[in-house]
Structure 1
Amino acid sequence: MIPTVVWGTGNVGRAAVRAVEAHPELTLAAVLVHSPAKVGRDAGELAGFKRQLDVSATGDVEAVLAARPRAVVYAASGDLRPDEALADVVRAVRAGAVVVTPALYALYDRLGAPAESREPVLAAVAEGGGSLFVSGVDPGWANDVLPLLVSGLGSTVDAIRCQEIFDYATYDQEDSVRHLIGMGHPMEYEPPMLAPSVPTMVWGGQIRLMARALNVQLDEIRETLERRPLDEAVRTRTMGEFAAGTQGAVRFEVRGIIEGEPRIVIEHVTRIHPSCAPDWPAPPDGGDGAHRVIVEGRPRVEVTVEATDEDENRSAGGNATAVGRLVNAIDWLVNAEPGLYDALDVPLRPAAGRLGRK
């Protein structure tokens, strides 16, 4: 069994605890939390289980890493604290752990990653013998392995589009939804996540990674952005009211330009309520989330994936599949050479030993 730590118990961390507990090759060694209110609580309670896992949450990072866990799922956010998240991950890699995380956007594409992100990780690998694999929580597989797989089904490919279509009404991360993305703010508010160059900073690595896999040369990466206000106030179960006239929907694209045309596109269509921007793409059955890959070419191929978790919640389902990609890579990484890995290195593998497992 591979002793595995889950670091963070928010939307991603809860799913990570469940995924580690379900994996036949992993054992939950510790759960690290930041909030003092969570210290001492059982991991099963924090993950939403109806049973105890007999692992108490702790805030003592030094003690947990001193025990030399073989793997760490770093589920703490890097949105507002990218430098701190990188420092945490480097610390765990230096302690000899295989680390998987969605928090470090810059490392989605290890070859194109900026030196200030890549070099500390490589130094920690050399010093401690750990590894790092980063894949997105949006989820990463929908912007790398799935579109690349689908691209191989046709005879010609003109363009690849990856869509995340998401209704935030059931999401439980108010700071990010309101302040990073701008939902509920006046239309003159400038959301940090939508500022020029930020979408490229976050998703550009996935564009570059797909271009590398497809053996094409990018001219550049461009962005587009549309925002819509709410026609009337709406109330959500997890985040309260969003006033009429405030931002209610966002649509943006990160476009990989090849020979002057957008050929590799990552598009996000997000709302706080389905009534806002009804003319924009929506999940096929009117649900609250879907991930879609469209390969334009011959033949044209369109694949839509809908996932649910935590009482049929699709926002949680997206997190759970992103976490599944990461957690299910741990045993492969443990058997691989120490290093920095990305989605082109780490295979997507069958759920061996987990069919029918509770």
Structure 2
Amino acid sequence: MIPTVVWGTGNVGRAAIRAVDAHPALELTAVLVHDPAKVGRDAGELGGLDRRLGVSATDRVGAVLDARPRAVVYAASGDLRPDEALADVVRAVAAGAVVVTPALYPLYDQRGAPPEFRDPVLAAVAEGGGSLFVSGVDPGWGNDVLPLLVSGLGTVVDAVRCQEIFDYSTYEQEESVRHLIGMGHPMDYEPLMLAPSIPTMVWGGQIRLMARALGVELDDIRETLDRRALDATVTTRTMGVFEAGTQGAVRFEVQGVVDGSPRIVIEHVTRIHASCAPDWPAPPDGGDGAHRVIIEGRPRIVVTVEATDEGENRSAGGNATAVGRLVGAIDWLVDAEPGLYDALDVPLRPATGRLGRK
């Protein structure tokens, strides 16, 4: 069994606890938390399980890493604290751990990552013999391995489009939804996540990763943005009231331009309520979210993936599949050479030993 730590117990960390517990090759040995109110609580409770796991949450990072865990799922957010997240990850890698995380956007395409992100990780690998694999929570597989796999089914491929279509009304991360993305703010508010160049900073690595796999050179990476206001006030179960006239939906694209045309596109369509921007792409059958890959060419191929999890928090399904990709890579990474890996390096494998496992 591979001793594994889950670091952070938010939307991603809850799913990570369940994924580690369910994996036959992994043993959950510690859960790290920042909130003092969570210290001492059982991991099963924090992970939304209906049973105790016998592992109590702790905020003693040094003690946990001094125990030399073989793997760490770093589930703390890097949205507003990228430097701190990088320092945490480097510390774990230097302690000899295999680390998987969605928190470090620049390392989605690790070969093209800025030196200020890549070099500290490589130094930690050399020092401690650990490894790092970064894949997105949007989810990463929807913007790398899935579109690349599906592209191989076509005879002629003109363009690859990856869509995330998401209803935030059941999501449980109010700080990000309201302030990073701008839902519920006046339309003249400028949310950080939608500022020029920020979408490229977050998703440009995945565009470059797909271009590398497809064997094409990018002319440029461009962005488009559209925002819509709510026609009526809505109330969500998890985040309360969003007033009419405030931002209720966002649609943007990060476009990889090849030979003057957008050929590799990551598109996000997000709403705070299904009634906003009804003419934009929507999940099938009125669901809360979907991830869709569209291969324009011959034949035209459309693959839509829907995932649900956590009962009423149905939108947590995307987080759960992203975590499944990361946690499912741990035993492969343990057997691999120490290093810095990306989605083209790490295979997506069957759920061996997990069929029927609770």
C-alpha distance in 2 between matches for 1:348 and 1:312: 29
**TM-score, normalised on structure 2?**
1.00
Tell me which residue corresponds to 2:34: 34
Look up the SS of the partner of 2:121 in the other structure: helix
Q: Give the 5 Å matches for 1:1-358.
A: 1-311=1-311, 313-358=313-358
Q: Which amino acid aligns with 1:130?
A: G
Root-mean-square deviation over aligned CA pairs: 0.5
Deviation at 1:314, TM superposition (A): 3.4
CA contact (8 A) 2:7 2:74 kept: yes
Look up the SS of the partner of 1:111 in the other structure: helix
Look up the SS of the partner of 1:76 in the other structure: coil
C-alpha distance in 1 between matches for 2:312 and 2:188: 35
C-alpha distance in 1 between matches for 2:257 and 2:45: 47
Look up the SS of the partner of 1:248 in the other structure: strand
Q: Which amino acid aligns with 2:63?
A: A
Look up the SS of the partner of 2:72 in the other structure: strand
Q: Which amino acid aligns with 1:61?
A: V
C-alpha distance in 2 between matches for 1:279 and 1:314: 23
Deviation at 1:284, TM superposition (A): 1.1
C-alpha distance in 1 between matches for 2:152 and 2:323: 25
Deviation at 1:315, TM superposition (A): 1.4
CA contact (8 A) 1:134 1:341 kept: yes
Structure 1 runs (4+) greater than 2 angstroms displaced: none
C-alpha distance in 1 between matches for 2:51 and 2:98: 28
C-alpha distance in 2 between matches for 1:235 and 1:6: 33
C-alpha distance in 1 between matches for 2:234 and 2:213: 43
CA contact (8 A) 2:170 2:312 kept: no
Look up the SS of the partner of 2:111 in the other structure: coil
C-alpha distance in 1 between matches for 2:256 and 2:249: 23
C-alpha distance in 2 between matches for 1:283 and 1:44: 31
Q: Which amino acid aligns with 2:75?
A: A
Deviation at 1:312, TM superposition (A): 5.9
**TM-score, normalised on structure 1?**
1.00
C-alpha distance in 2 between matches for 1:316 and 1:284: 17
Identity of aligned residues (%): 85
C-alpha distance in 2 between matches for 1:58 and 1:138: 28
C-alpha distance in 2 between matches for 1:313 and 1:348: 26
Q: Deviations over 1:247-302 (max 9, x none)?
A: 00000000000000000000000000000000000001111100000000000000
C-alpha distance in 1 between matches for 2:309 and 2:287: 13
Unaligned 5+ runs, structure 2:
none
Q: Deviations over 1:10-56 (max 9, x none)?
A: 00000000000000000001000000000000000001111100000
C-alpha distance in 1 between matches for 2:14 and 2:42: 12
C-alpha distance in 2 between matches for 1:314 and 1:324: 16
CA contact (8 A) 1:306 1:314 kept: no
Deviation at 1:311, TM superposition (A): 1.0
C-alpha distance in 1 between matches for 2:42 and 2:261: 52
